[in-house]
Amino acid sequence: MKKHLLALVILGAFASAAPAQSNVTLYGTIDAGLIKRTDQRVAVGKRANNTLGFRGTEDLGNGLKALVHLEIRYEPDTGTNEIGANGAQRPLFQGQSRVGLQGAFGMVRLGRGLTALQESIIKFEPFHGLPHTAGFYTDLAIAGYTSEPLNMAGNSKNRFSNALWYNSPEVGGFQLNATISTREANGGPAVVGRGTPALPQYPANSQASTNPYSISATFKRGPAAFMAAMERNAVETDLWSVAASWYVIPSLNLMASYQRQDEEHTRLFNQETRAWVVGLNWTLGPGKLLAGFGRKKPDGLPSTRQLSIGYEYSLSKRTYLYADASNKKNQTDARYYAVGINHAF
């Protein structure tokens, strides 16, 4: 084995400098830990998305660049593609699959990925926008909204397929981001909406009744950052969001966001859902404290409250250990405890 490696090193020197011919960077993250949920046995699970990505840029001259970004998502505990609701396997490149151009005009991309609103809100969510239970991103930070109601069952709630992205240059701290999707059917499940199970408002594999779109504006000034965003999905549900963050001191970032979801196109009652999240990231030497509290309230329905605390201890720039504790209260309490490791490569 050692000889084998030695041979590889030599080959790497010149003969097979093959990989150096490539124009794409391979990267990824792996995250696994032990999780305890109320009324459930200890399980092996994840805190962060697990990614294996391929990213490249090509200088086309005149300040123009071509971009490609493909990102596999997977589950280390079972070795499968990323799993969504009901155990459905998500697309191979669940993270994103986009090609584009970048220049003085900004950046234009085509493919599948997080919407403009979803890409922006992450910076204002105290758990890095991670998908795990202690985080607020997948529920409260978007008021329970989903960006892809007509996409394949089990898909994430944060992406557009068949979409076009535009990101403006950052001018005086201000940036505009927009995403618009076609109305293509994506093999999604039926959405009953204002119909009946027998006669759903959107039958299985429906086309969108509008072009889904997402817009966000961000503004940075010194220690402060602000966001205002609006999104409409394929079943004409709207999400409004405003958010702000402030570095009180370089090691302490406070953040807050307010969201409102409007489902009047698919609901007769309980059409409005309001939610807010406040939180902080506090760097303490090699450690970082994450904390947040939030509330979600659909009108006419009981509210959901969530309190989460997390701690990250860095073993290096690429590797950290973490511990999280969370309580989510709707009718009942749902407690969640996790310890694990996160490694970037």
Give, as ranges, the residues between 152 and 171 that touch a second copy (CB under 8 A).
161-164, 167, 169-170
CB of 301 to a second copy, least distance (A): 31
- Pair 257, 218: CB distance under 8 Å: no
Q: Which of 115, 133, 158, 177 binds a second copy (CB under 8 A)?
A: 177
- Pair 330, 300: CB distance under 8 Å: no
CB of 294 to a second copy, least distance (A): 24
Structure tokens at 85: 């609701």
- Asked if 307 touches a second copy (CB under 8 A), the answer is no
Q: Which is nearer to a second copy, 194 or 221 (CB)?
A: 221
In a 3-state reduction of DSSP, which class is residue 122?
Answer: helix
Which parts of 101-130 interact with a second copy (CB under 8 A)?
101-102, 107, 110-112, 119
Q: Which of 8, 85, 204, 284 binds a second copy (CB under 8 A)?
A: 8
Structure tokens at 327: 């309580």
Neighbours of 122 (CB within 10 A): 15
Q: Which stretch binds a second copy (CB under 8 A): 61-69, 257-265, 274-282, 293-301?
A: 61-69
CB of 153 to a second copy, least distance (A): 13
> Which residue is it, tokens 């202690």?
134
Neighbours of 80 (CB within 10 A): 12
Distance CA 153, CA 278 (A): 31
Size of the site for a second copy (CB under 8 A): 105
Which parts of 203-222 interact with a second copy (CB under 8 A)?
207, 218
CB of 171 to a second copy, least distance (A): 10
Which parts of 185-204 interact with a second copy (CB under 8 A)?
186-187
Q: Which is nearer to a second copy, 218 or 257 (CB)?
A: 218
- Pair 245, 271: CB distance under 8 Å: no
CB of 110 to a second copy, least distance (A): 4
Q: Which stretch binds a second copy (CB under 8 A): 63-71, 133-141, 226-234, 288-296?
A: 63-71
Q: Which amino acid is at 280?
A: L
CB of 273 to a second copy, least distance (A): 27
Burial of 33 (0-12, 13-18, 19+ CB in 10 A): buried
For 140, residues 6+ apart whose C-beta sits below 8 A from its C-beta are 275, 276, 277, 294, 295, 296, 304, 306
- Asked if 92 touches a second copy (CB under 8 A), the answer is yes
Tell me the per-residue interface mask from 13 to 52 with a second copy, x by CB under 8 A, - otherwise.
Answer: xxxxxxxxxxxxxxxx-xxxxx------xxxx-------x
Distance CA 228, CA 177 (A): 11
Q: Which is nearer to a second copy, 162 or 271 (CB)?
A: 162
- Pair 206, 188: CB distance under 8 Å: yes
CB of 265 to a second copy, least distance (A): 19
- Asked if 1 touches a second copy (CB under 8 A), the answer is yes
Give the CA count within 13 Å in the CB-facing half-sphere of 230: 3
Query: Which DSSP state fits 128?
Result: T
Which parts of 310-329 interact with a second copy (CB under 8 A)?
315-319
